[in-house]
């Protein structure tokens, strides 16, 4: 059973470009979370999605950031017009959705904005 798959592992973008980060949850998991982590810091919640629905996007900046989890295909975190401050590691996690189901994480996408 494959774990949570994220790609690309590393992404370099120039300021003003768009970044697209993809996440395929574990098989059977319909709940996806995106987190952002800066060096030496903990993970910060960004957005929580279920298939075709955004459940909570309270941790995501209102401008330039968007997320989706379509009926078919991976979840996508999209950052438009990237700025240097967007440089970070972005992690995706999935769960079965029951109240005691633990999160399972991918190995992240490290975004560098030059």
Residues near another protein (CB under 8 A) are 4, 6, 31, 33, 35, 40-45, 48, 55-56, 58-59, 89, 91, 93, 95, 97, 99-100, 102-108, 110
Q: Which is nearer to another protein, 17 or 57 (CB)?
A: 57
Maximum separation of any 2 CA atoms in the chain, in Å? 41
Q: Which is nearer to another protein, 81 or 101 (CB)?
A: 101
Q: Which is nearer to another protein, 65 or 106 (CB)?
A: 106
Q: What's the token pair of residue 104?
A: 């399972």
Residue 104 beta carbon to another protein: minimum distance, rounded to whole angstroms? 6
Tokens 């005691």, located at residue: 100
> CA–CA separation, 107 vs 102, rounded Å?
16
Q: Which is nearer to another protein, 76 or 89 (CB)?
A: 89
Whether the CA torsion 32, 51, 97, 74 is positive or negative: it is: negative
Residue 59 beta carbon to another protein: minimum distance, rounded to whole angstroms? 7
How wide is the angle at C-alpha 15 spanned by C-alphas 61 and 23, nearest 5°? 55
């Amino acid at each position: 059973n494959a774990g949570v798959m994220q790609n690309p592992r590393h992404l370099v973008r120039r300021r003003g470009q768009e970044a697209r980060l993809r996440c395929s949850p574990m098989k059977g998991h319909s709940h996806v979370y995106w987190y952002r982590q800066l060096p030496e810091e903990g993970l910060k919640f960004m957005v929580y999605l279920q298939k075709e629905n955004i459940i909570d996007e309270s941790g995501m900046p209102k401008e330039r950031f968007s997320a989706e989890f379509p009926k078919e295909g991976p979840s996508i975190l999209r950052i438009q017009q990237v700025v240097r401050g967007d440089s970070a590691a972005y992690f995706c996690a999935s769960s079965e959705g029951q109240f005691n189901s633990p999160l399972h994480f991918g190995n992240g996408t490290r975004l560098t904005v030059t």
